[in-house]
Chain A
Amino acid sequence: MIEIKDIHKKFGKNEVLKGIDLSINQGGIFAILGPNGSGKTTLIKSILGMVLPDSGEISINGKSLKNSFKYRENIDYLPQIANFPGNLKVKELIEMIKDLRNSKATNDRELIELFKLQPFLNKKLVNLSGGTKQKVNLVLTFMFDGPLIILDEPTSGLDPISHLRLKNLIFAEKKKGKTILVTSHILSFVEEIADEIVFLLEGKIYFKGSITELKLKTSQPDFEHAIASILSASYA
């Protein structure tokens, strides 16, 4: 589904992505892991066309992303930091995004119900707490029915119940045959949901495969230690 070929990206002198090759097939949950500053968000933003790679090519379903924007209709993206225009009310924001997408078939009502957002619909976004903003963010992402979902740190700021609901939501989407890309630092969350992980280290792919394979490769009994061993090896 997504083909990434030899992507390089520099921000000034800082080389963030140093040749990433990755292909992601239709269906399943893929976790992109890596320490801070390893290029996870840059990689995701390149797929979204927000960051323009210096070289290399990305294509989705065989179509190159260069100079194209229509393909984003098929991507539901959850940004890392939920910052919205503060002047708007929650309801208006949802309507606006729907209008921009020209999409009528949405399930925003169920999602608002699920995350118990009804009391906030008429409040302005500046007045919401971080966790509530993240819930709004989740509604905006999951209300469309695109085949590809990209979640950048979806769990940040969520309370345990919402966390659980999010997990169920992700599993439900997976059942529909969607492809889901997730980045997260919460390893237990990743271990629970991910079918496959991609580990980025200093702008390169260090490992790609299932969690079992990672445990074998690092000869560690559990996932947490496996990740820790990669990190300590690289920082040593």
Chain B
Amino acid sequence: MLKILKYSFYDLMRSRWSYVYFLFYLLLGVVLLFLNNDLSKAVITLMNVIIILVPLIGTIFGVMYYYNSREFTELLLAQPVKRSSIFLGQYLGVATSLSMSLVIGLGFPFVFYGIFNSSAIWDFSLLLITGAFLTFIFTALAFVIALSNENKIKGFGYAILLWLFMAVIYDGLFLMSLLYFEDYPLDKFSLGATMLNPVDLSRVLILLKLDISALLGYTGAVFQKFFGTNFGLILSFVMLVCWVIIPTFFIWRIAKKKDF
């Protein structure tokens, strides 16, 4: 599997898109820092961008990579390599190279600005960690979609729908249900609903770390009480890990049964 990972990774490192993605983050980091002149504020703005953009790029890139490397995959399938190694290797190759673009692209400007001497270092690290998690989660979901759809157009369609649902529609439904059931106690429900969507979970995690949860009112207090504790933090990370492992399991299972 490591060999496949290596080749997928090199292949991507060579492609123009990795550089575009990397340069985008580099530019974003530099611009934000020089406009804001404040590390904490820059982290908040970055969060808003990352929460939406990272899942989108992960999904699109994952689907695109799978469909584009079909020939490569067929070549590999005739070699004495395990099927699961081929697909898991490719997935990890894509997810790793995307995460690297994110971490290095954003890391550079912040390091030069002096993040290591600032109190925002933890917030910033958390931002990068959740960003990497989101990349791994959505790339895995994209691979699951691409593996189960032979038709490229359908695959892309489902992938975009998935992103739209997780990043936009889910919040809408969540809010509507909060309004509709406002007569009932909703703390448990809203905690659960947040846990079930990696995008929301990442957002809440970062917001609470930034100590602006007062803006969230009563819910903020409930969230703070839960996520602020070590237990809450650990549980959130366990959830994020589950969001990576479960789709990866599906990649493995679908790949095992598929005809090429």
Contact = CB atoms under 8 A, between A and B. Distances in A.
A106 to B, nearest CB: 14
A116 B80 CA distance: 28
A87 B78 contact: no
Interface in A1-55: 11, 45, 48-52
Contacts of A159: none
Contacts of A101: 79-80
Contacts, number: 56
What interface size band does chain B fall in?
20 to 34
B81 A100 contact: yes
A59 B126 CA distance: 53
Interface stretch (A69-77, A200-208, A219-227): A69-77
Interface residue tally of chain A, by bracket? 20 to 34
Interface string B55-71: 00000000000000101
Contact of A69 (B11, B72, B81, B260): B81
A197 B11 CA distance: 41
A157 to B, nearest CB: 16
25 contacts: A11-B259, A45-B259, A45-B260, A49-B77, A50-B78, A51-B260, A52-B257, A71-B80, A72-B79, A72-B80, A72-B81, A73-B80, A77-B78, A79-B74, A84-B72, A84-B75, A85-B71, A85-B72, A85-B75, A87-B14, A88-B11, A96-B7, A100-B76, A100-B80, A100-B81
Interface of A: 11, 45, 48-52, 69-73, 75, 77, 79, 83-85, 87-88, 96-97, 99-101
Interface of B: 3, 7, 11, 14-15, 69, 71-72, 74-83, 257, 259-260
